[in-house]
Amino acid sequence: MQGLVFGSDDFCADIGATRTEDAKELLYARQYLITVAKAFQLQAIDMVHINYKDLAGLQMQSIEGAKMGFTGKQVIHPDQISVVNEAFSPSQEKIQWARDLIAEFEGHQATGKGAFNFRGHMIDMPLVLQAKNVLKLAEAMPKKN
């Protein structure tokens, strides 16, 4: 098994919820799916944006999902692919932040220091792991032409 996929419409049907544009009725289930997937080191794939012509709404929902911890999103139309890929890809600024943070971490490790200050923030192992995740994701994403 590589991941878990959240079937939002199936979930709504099962619990008797009405699917709304802001999807607040799905927040807990989406967060729970992420937690379970990550606990087993699986990918967490977010729900379909069913209004396939609403690319702005898809972008907002994709960015939200990426910030929540989803690793991808289901699509139902080819026009959705680039929007979703963009939302789940780390920006060049985020990639550079991760590279710089890891370089500073390695320098501090060489001197036997643990936590350190990086750009005005205290950095310890959880943020180092986040930076490594950014670089791992950047490596896995399709390259832009």
Known catalytic residues are 124
Quote the CA–CA distance of 14 and 87 in Å, as a whole number.
29
Q: What is the 3-state secondary structure of 36-78?
A: HHHHCCCEEEECCCCCCCCHHHHHHHHHHHHHHCCCEECCCCC
Encoding tokens for residue 62? 């994709």
